[in-house]
């Protein structure tokens, strides 16, 4: 579904964050991307979404080459993005935030379908509330719902557990797993929270200095703490 | 009593015309982060569109309808040719649009000459309001401005298109990630802002001396209104234009235009000192 080949990209021409990254994700798979800060995890998601200038390499999504396309086109091809820090529209109501997820999609009606509120009942309760007044966990659900309302095939999630209570992270993992099953959704998850990774991911990839350096099944992660030690501790 | 009514109505009509100019400036600034120094010239071109149509025998009303359409087209062309190439470099947008402003002004001088043009007053009658005799055309200006400003607010706060525009203003990158075509929004916004300024120029033309300098006379108070009201906020535009238009009309009626200018600038400085983010608190 997604193939990245020899990707080189960064924020300035002089310093590349991604240094020849290769990655393949099959349809329906949930892949976790792990690594220390500054290794290029978020940068990879931004590059896929079209927010960075790509110096070299290819990104293929289904049958489309997406390097050089603009973010709104990439979104319309079926990739949705939940950025780090959520970036919800704090001054808008919950419902307005959700509607913004379909306004750019001509094929979809401009209203919130029932399945979104079925997955995230708290958003139905708060639909008229300003999004900025909700808790971190609720805002994260909103950011995910806003991405899902556009019916993506591939969901890019950047640290969804950041700043959220552990009990809520558990719920989030259950909900995401259920949605992935119901929608045959493919997910690329950047995450430091081992709990969430073990619950969701079918495969873990480790990134170091802008390249993938290792891959592991979640079972091996559980059995081999040295692996995490090597790629995650500072 | 009569004088008070007249001053009040004068202040209101100035405020409403200013609001049309300021709304365009704010929407363009909010969405594209472009300070459009050529906005006064869009106002000017609106007035000259009426002159042109009138000289061709079309009359004021046809000119009034043509002005926003002509200005939307000019706005669209200038956005495509100039503004979009510099909009990510903030200072350059000021220089580029200032250059546009000079070029438009000179072009108007070349075509129409430096002297003032006359636009016939289409509504020369007067009406009696609360014991005061008041020109009909000024009332017409108020009606147009209220309708257009209300329409703009409805468009922004009650429609899907307005929600998309507000989304782009609040977080451009996120809006793009959600599938909203921000380039199309930019083009539409610039054309819409230009059309508002053109309409304001056209509707004001019968009351003003239509000359190549008339744009500046509206751009400066429009900028002051935005600073006073709070940049990036449509409700702030209402506050800002009331303060600026109200104070300048009242002071000018008691003393002179010059005193009014000094008073308005001083008031603006005090307000900005006390509310650095504007009276509306800079809420978006």
pLDDT in tens, B159-211: 999 999 999 989 999 999 999 999 999 999 999 999 999 999 999 999 888 99
How sure is the predictor about B44, in pLDDT bands with cuts at 50, 70 and 90? very high
Cα–Cα distance between A148 and B177 in angstroms, integer?
12
pLDDT (tens digit per residue) in B126-162: 888 888 888 898 899 899 999 998 999 999 899 999 9
Rounded Cα distance between A189 and A133, Å, is: 26
Of B242, B199, B205, nearest to B224 (Cα)?
B242
A71 to B166: CB separation less than 8 angstroms, yes or no? no
Residue A188 clears pLDDT 80, i.e. is over it: yes
pLDDT at residue A234 in the model: 58
Distance CA B178, CA A144 (A): 11
53-72 of A, contacting B, C-beta below 8 A: 70-72
pLDDT in tens, A66-109: 999 999 999 999 999 999 999 999 999 999 999 999 999 999 99
Q: What is the pLDDT of residue B283?
A: 42
pTM of this prediction? 0.86
Is residue B180 within 8 angstroms of chain A, CB to CB?
yes
The contacts of residue A36 (CB under 8 Å, 6+ apart) are A208, A231, A232, A233, A234
Residue B159, C-beta contacts closer than 8 angstroms, at least 6 positions apart: none
- Mean pLDDT value of segment B67-91: 92
pLDDT given at position B284: 39
Q: Which of B173, B177, B180 sits opposite A103 (nearest CB)?
A: B180
Percent of chain B topping pLDDT 90: 40
CA A45 to chain centre: 7
Higher pLDDT, A233 or A43: A43
Indicate the DSSP class of residue A202.
S
Q: For residues A144, A149, A151 and A152, what is the CA-based torsion angle, rounded to 10 degrees?
A: -30
Q: Which of B177, B188, B283 to probe by mutation at the A interface, max A CB count within 10 Å?
A: B177
Q: Does A117 touch chain B (CB under 8 A)?
A: no
Pull the structure tokens for residue A75: 């979104």
| Complex ipTM value | 0.93
> Given a cut of 90, is residue B273 above it in pLDDT?
no
Q: What b/e string do you get for B32-68 counting C-beta neighbours within 10 Å, with b at 16 or more?
A: bebbbbbbbbbbbbbbbbbbbbbeeeeebeebbbbbb
Alpha helices in A108-185 (DSSP H): 114-119, 121-125, 136-148, 166-183
Cα–Cα distance for residue pair A4/A31, rounded to 1 Å: 14
Residue B174 at interface with chain A, using a CB cutoff of 8 Å: yes
Count of CB atoms within 10 A of residue B159's CB?
A: 11
Q: Which DSSP state fits A191?
A: -
Nearest CB partner across the interface for B170, out of A91, A110, A150: A91
Q: What is the pLDDT of residue A147?
A: 97
Assign B275 a pLDDT band (cuts: 50, 70, 90). confident
CA distance B219 to B108: 17
pLDDT confidence of B267, banded at 50, 70, 90? confident
Identify the band that residue B11 occupies on the pLDDT scale cut at 50, 70 and 90.
Answer: confident
Of B160, B166, B171, the CB nearest to A87: B171
CB < 8 Å to B157, chain A? none
**Higher-pLDDT residue of A66, B10:** A66
> Is some CB atom of chain A closer than 8 A to the CB atom of B204?
no
Mean pLDDT, all residues of chain B? 88
A87 contact residues in B (CB cutoff 8 A)? 171, 173-174
Nearest CA in chain A to B176: A72
């Amino acid at each position: 579904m997604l193939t990245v080949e020899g990707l080189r990209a960064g924020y300035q021409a002089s310093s590349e964050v991604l240094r020849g990254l290769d990655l393949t994700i099959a349809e329906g798979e949930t892949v976790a991307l792990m690594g220390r800060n500054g290794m290029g995890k978020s940068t990879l998601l931004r590059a896929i979404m079209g927010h960075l200038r790509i110096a070299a390499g290819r990104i293929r999504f289904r049958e489309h080459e997406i390097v050089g396309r603009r973010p709104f086109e990439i979104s319309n091809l079926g990739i949705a993005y939940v950025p780090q820090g959520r970036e919800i529209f704090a001054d808008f109501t919950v419902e307005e935030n959700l509607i913004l997820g379909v306004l750019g999609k001509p094929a979809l009606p401009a209203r919130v379908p029932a399945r979104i509120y079925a997955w995230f009942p708290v958003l139905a309760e708060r639909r008229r509330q300003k999004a900025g007044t909700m808790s971190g966990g609720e805002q994260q659900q909103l950011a995910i719902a806003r991405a899902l309302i556009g019916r993506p095939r591939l969901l890019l999630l950047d640290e969804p557990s950041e700043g959220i209570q552990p009990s809520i992270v558990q719920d989030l993992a259950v909900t995401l797993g259920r949605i992935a099953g119901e929608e045959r959704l493919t997910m690329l998850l950047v995450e430091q929270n081992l709990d969430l990774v073990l619950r969701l991911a079918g495969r873990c990839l480790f990134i170091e200095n802008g390249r993938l350096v290792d891959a592991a099944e979640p079972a091996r992660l559980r059995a081999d703490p040295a692996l995490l030690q090597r790629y995650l501790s500072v | 009593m009569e004088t008070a009514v007249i001053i009040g109505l004068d202040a209101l009509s100035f405020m409403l015309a200013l609001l049309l100019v300021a709304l365009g400036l704010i929407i363009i600034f909010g969405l594209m982060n472009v300070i459009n120094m050529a906005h006064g010239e869009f106002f000017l071109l609106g007035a000259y569109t009426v002159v042109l149509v009138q000289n061709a025998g079309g009359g004021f009303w046809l000119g009034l309808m043509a002005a926003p359409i002509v200005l939307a087209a000019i706005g669209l062309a200038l956005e495509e040719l100039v503004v979009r190439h510099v909009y990510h470099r903030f200072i350059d947008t000021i220089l580029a649009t200032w250059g546009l402003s000079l070029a438009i002004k000179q072009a108007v001088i070349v075509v129409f000459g430096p002297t003032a043009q006359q636009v016939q007053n289409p509504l020369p009658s007067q009406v009696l309001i609360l014991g005061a005799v008041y020109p009909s055309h000024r009332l017409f200006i108020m009606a147009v401005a209220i309708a257009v400003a209300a329409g703009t607010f409805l468009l922004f706060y009650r429609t899907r298109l307005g929600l998309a525009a507000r989304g782009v203003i609040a977080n451009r990158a996120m809006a793009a990630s959600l599938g909203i075509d921000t380039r199309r929004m930019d083009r539409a916004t610039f054309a819409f802002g230009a059309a508002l300024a053109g309409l304001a120029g056209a509707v004001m033309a019968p009351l003003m001396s239509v000359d190549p300098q008339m744009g500046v006379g509206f751009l400066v108070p429009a900028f002051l209104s935005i600073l006073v009201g709070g940049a990036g906020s449509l409700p702030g535009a209402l506050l800002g234009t009331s303060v600026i238009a109200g104070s300048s009309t009242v002071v000018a009626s008691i003393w002179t235009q010059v005193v009014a200018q000094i008073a308005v600038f001083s008031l603006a400085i005090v307000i900005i000192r006390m509310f650095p983010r504007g009276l509306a608190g800079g809420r978006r």
